[in-house]
Amino acid sequence: GRFAGRFQVDLKISDGLFFGASAIEFPLVNGDNTIEIPGSADTTKVVVVIEGARTNTQVWNKTNGIRVRYPRPLPLNTVATITGHDMLASEVVGGNETDTTYTVVHSGSPQWMILRPGTNIINLSSDSGAGAVKLLVQGAWT
């Protein structure tokens, strides 16, 4: 009509990536673990889940040199979760959650954990304990 107009909107995605709809679970054992990450881009959508008992647990991506360490001792029946994308950490004991973000130590990148598409070599180590550790990963596509 007489008062019609045209406009253009440019939308930008903050990180420019699309992530898989659900996470893939990778159980880890002490030492080197080879995992295959789907996608076409590096992903920061990585959650590390550590079940006690473990002390000073470190997950090291030997493929790109990034390490994340949870230095707190985790007693039996305690679960620590490190969410790399959001840079958060917490512990759950008996249904009670405590923020432990301040304790996480990382190196190799400003991000807490990055996985490349394809093969990654992940090294798991702890000073003591043998509680289960797993990664929950969403692949990334450009």
CA angle 5, 10, 13 (to 5 degrees): 150
How much of the chain, in percent, has pLDDT values that exceed 70? 94
The residue count of the chain comes to 142
pTM: 0.88
pLDDT of 11 strictly over 80: no
Between residues 29 and 17, the one the model is more confident about: 29
Bridge partners for 113 per DSSP = none
Angstrom CA distances, 94 to 60, 75, 98, 124, stand at: 29, 12, 11, 26
73: pLDDT confidence band, cut at 50, 70 and 90?
very high
Where b means 16+ CB within 10 Å and e means fewer, 71-97 reads: ebbbeeebbbbbbbbeeebebeeeeee
Q: What is the pLDDT of residues 115-137, one digit of tens each?
A: 999 999 999 999 999 999 999 99
pLDDT at residue 60, as a whole number: 98
Q: What is the pLDDT of residue 91?
A: 96
**Rg of the chain over CA atoms, in angstroms?**
19
% residues pLDDT > 90 (the chain): 82
Confidence bin at 15 (pLDDT 50/70/90): low
**pLDDT higher than threshold 70 for residue 9:** yes
